[in-house]
């Protein structure tokens, strides 16, 4: 499906553009924003490649990658990055990822972003199950996913190799019927 476009009270979700590289770098290049992610802070060139790959992936058939810009409706500024990746080994399932620029944290944008992404997954793409994997130390992510009705399901042991060390992931997920009912 292309293009994705959704709005909430304060945010828009839209397709990425190549002009977004610097704004995405402000997130993916930040040690603070990537502290609990599965990768270390990226260079600007790595971010440029990610954005370019994400743009190229929109025309794949079927489309499995939905890397989206989160923008503030008031300022039209890109303040976050959201991603749904359809799982080729699971029917109508996808993983979710999201990150916001640190200077906007704590204002409810995280939960608003995840709701927008779940709306895309369940309402636009007709998915059955959406899940996210977080670091056990990522309390902000745990609270954000819980706030939107994603249930903590368990731990994947030594799921992520980061800085030469294996790290567990905690899985949170939500089903289509739970989304339609407004939460589990």
Ligand X SMILES: CC(C)(COP(=O)(O)OP(=O)(O)OC[C@H]1O[C@@H](n2cnc3c(N)ncnc32)[C@H](O)[C@@H]1OP(=O)(O)O)[C@@H](O)C(=O)NCCC(=O)NCCS
Instruction: Report the interface residues with ligand X, using CB under 6 A.
Output: 33, 36-37, 98-100, 105-111, 132, 134, 138-141, 143-144, 147
CB of 150 to ligand X, least distance (A): 10
Greatest CA separation for the chain: 43
CB of 59 to ligand X, least distance (A): 27
Q: Are 112 and 8 in contact (CB under 8 A)?
A: yes
Residue number closest to ligand X, CB atom: 110
CB of 89 to ligand X, least distance (A): 20
- Residue among 66 and 98 whose Cβ is closer to ligand X: 98
- Residue among 94 and 99 whose Cβ is closer to ligand X: 99
Of the candidates 148, 147, 149, 145, the residue with the CA atom closest to the CA atom of residue 135: 145
Backbone angles phi and psi of 88, in degrees to 5: -65, -15
CB of 61 to ligand X, least distance (A): 29
């Amino acid at each position: 499906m292309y293009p994705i476009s959704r709005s909430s009270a304060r945010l828009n979700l839209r397709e990425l553009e190549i002009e977004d590289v610097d704004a995405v770098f402000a997130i993916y290049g930040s040690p603070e924003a990537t502290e609990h992610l599965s990768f270390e802070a990226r260079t600007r060139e790595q971010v440029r490649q990610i954005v370019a790959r994400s743009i190229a992936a929109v025309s794949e058939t079927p489309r499995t990658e939905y890397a989206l810009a989160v923008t503030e409706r008031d300022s039209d500024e890109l303040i976050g990055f959201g991603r749904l990746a359809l799982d080729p080994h699971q029917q109508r399932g996808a993983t979710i990822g999201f990150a916001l620029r640190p200077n906007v944290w704590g204002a409810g944008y995280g939960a608003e972003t995840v709701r927008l992404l779940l709306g895309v997954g369940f309402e636009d793409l007709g998915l059955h199950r959406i899940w996210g994997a977080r670091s056990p130390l990522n309390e902000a992510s745990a609270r954000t996913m819980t706030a939107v009705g994603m249930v903590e399901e368990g731990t994947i042991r030594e799921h992520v190799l980061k800085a030469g060390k294996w790290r567990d992931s905690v899985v949170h997920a939500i089903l289509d019927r739970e989304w339609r009912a407004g939460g589990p």
